[in-house]
Amino acid sequence: MVISSSSSSQEKYDVFLSFRGEDTRDGFTGYLYNALCQKHILTYKDDENLPKGHQISELKKAIEKSKICIIVFSTNFASSTWCLDEVVHILKCKKNIGNVIPIFYGIEPSIVRKQGESYAAAFAEHERFKDKMEKVQQWKDALKEVANLSGYDSENLRPEYKLIEKIVEDILLKLSKYVSTNDPFKRHLIGIEKPMEEIERLLCIATTDVRIIGLHGMGGIGKTTLAHAIFRKFYRHFESYCFLNDIREEYERYGIIHLREKLLFELFKDKTSLSMESIPIQDRCRRTKVLIVLDDLDSISQLNRLLPNVYEFGDGSRIIITTRDAQVLKSRADILYEVKRLNDFEALKLFCLHAFGQNSDLLGYEALSTSVAGYAHGNPLALEVLGSSLYSKSINEWESALDKLETDPDKDIQKVLKISYDGLGDKSIQDIFLDIACFFDGEVDRDYVESILHRTERSDATIAISVLIDKSLIIECQSRLSMHALLRQMG
């Protein structure tokens, strides 16, 4: 049987459980199922998911739509033709991607591999029906193959709860490495692999210390997207988790009390006690391993009011903060990570995805695509906005749009970038930003810029430039200053 790409690529379940119901449903398999569910691992178990009266074809579909298959071998497993058919189908679907995990519960792996003892008796019964001999051989071959895979023997890890903990840990690790080709969120994450790997190393999920990681960079550079990707990959590793979006905007609209209550409710799903001053809540936080993402913070006071220093979280907790202002992070974050722009190849790829869709046929648009993508200077938001605005447009419309961009920047892009400029507050720092945008092109030595600005009676130039760097409005590399092309247009 050949599994079609449409059915095999659309994963509906994280885990498919294959087991002999009479042996383990109300014991080991039931406990394992509950442990998986507690970690938010979407698990298919026939008595939970298969309506009565439905056929094995429904189970086969579930196998095809699962990322990982666990087979719980028990004493009477081989007596069920239904179970044996599942094993054959699991191997057809999953063996090439290495996501089949055998568990030998109360039975030695060699008995399954060689079909001895109770398995020999079960196959003797199956072989009574001569018309099934070919199928019986299929079953035997499948059992032998699965029994040779890396798995778990219940005799080697006791007590039972430790075995279940180890299996769940293994599943979490496999899922964190799993890449779904059918997830539209992941399909659009161009150029994210390297920063994801770097941040994963900084997070070091396996350690028990509590870490605060700060992601900073200019508006539209992909901080929130990156934080979302990390959150989606690792949230199952934590007892409680929360992603607070658009904190800057929510803070202005609803205030800090609303944000605090939202954070506590997302973590503990309890409306009865949403006060950070509550001793029981503080004790609960201290005992709980949490993953918290605070997205788009724009001041130290916001951070300190939302998560006071006196607040403690359980061992292994991780807090990720995204901001345009690195200064927000310096007093609280353990590690700062600057999110960089996309390289030229990645930028063109992301732009074309939005300008042409999945089937990126650039015929006749090659030079124009390169020019428009170059205008965005590696800023993902700008690439997405520009690509979407040119989708299905003619070459003449593209040329007209490109000419217009040189004199009249896209308003949606400028609106996002201007937030950082407005957030400066201090008029003198805003003026220095405009001076640099208007009069210093390309990379310029910092000392030279400061000396020119000091001559114009801007005595605060040194401090102002440091503020602009922190707020991702200018870039400093080896004592040389530069500015993103889109920000320069604001001058």
Give me the percent of the chain exceeding a pLDDT of 90: 34
Break the chain into its structural domains and give their ranges. Answer: 7-177, 184-338, 344-408, 415-488
Cβ contacts of 455 within 8 Å, gap of 6 or more: none
* Mean pLDDT score, 28-38: 92
Pairing between β-strand 444-445 and β-strand 480-482 as defined by DSSP bridges: antiparallel
Q: Which of 64, 86, 346, 384 is catalytic?
A: 86
Question: Predicted confidence band at 290 (pLDDT cuts at 50, 70, 90)?
Answer: very high
Closest CA to 71 of 22, 111, 115, 105: 105
Domain range 415-488, its CATH number among 3.40.50.2300, 1.10.10.10, 3.40.50.1370, 3.40.50.300: 1.10.10.10
Best mean pLDDT range from 310-314, 329-333, 457-461: 329-333
Greater confidence (123 vs 185) lies with 123
Closest CA to 192 of 226, 228, 231, 234: 226
Q: How far apart are CA 12 and CA 212, in angstroms?
A: 33
The fold of the 184-338 domain, in CATH, is: Rossmann fold (3.40.50)
| Residue 114 structure tokens | 């060689």
Give me the percent of the chain exceeding a pLDDT of 70: 89
In contact, 337 and 214? CB cutoff 8 Å: yes
Query: Which amino acid does the sequence have at 11?
Result: E
Model confidence over 434-455: pLDDT tens digits? Answer: 888 887 777 888 888 888 888 7
Greater confidence (200 vs 401) lies with 200
What's phi and psi for 111, nearest 5 deg?
A: -65, -40
Greater confidence (12 vs 90) lies with 90
Q: Specify the range with the lowest mean pLDDT, choosing from 14-28, 93-107, 359-373, 461-475.
A: 359-373
| Residue 333 structure tokens | 């974050």
Cβ contacts of 380 within 8 Å, gap of 6 or more: 191, 220, 221, 222, 225, 342, 350
Question: Predicted confidence band at 8 (pLDDT cuts at 50, 70, 90)?
Answer: very low
Is 198 a residue of the active site? no
Cβ contacts of 458 within 8 Å, gap of 6 or more: 428, 431, 432, 435, 464
- In the beta sheet, which residues pair with residue 477? 480
Q: Specify the range with the lowest mean pLDDT, choosing from 210-214, 349-353, 405-409.
A: 405-409
Q: Comparing 184-338 with 415-488, is the CATH topology the same?
A: no
Q: Is the peptide bond before 159 cis (omega within 30 degrees of 0)?
A: yes
* Domain 7-177 part of CATH 3.40.50.10140: yes
DSSP state of 476: E
Model confidence over 228-257: pLDDT tens digits? Answer: 999 998 998 898 999 999 999 899 999 999
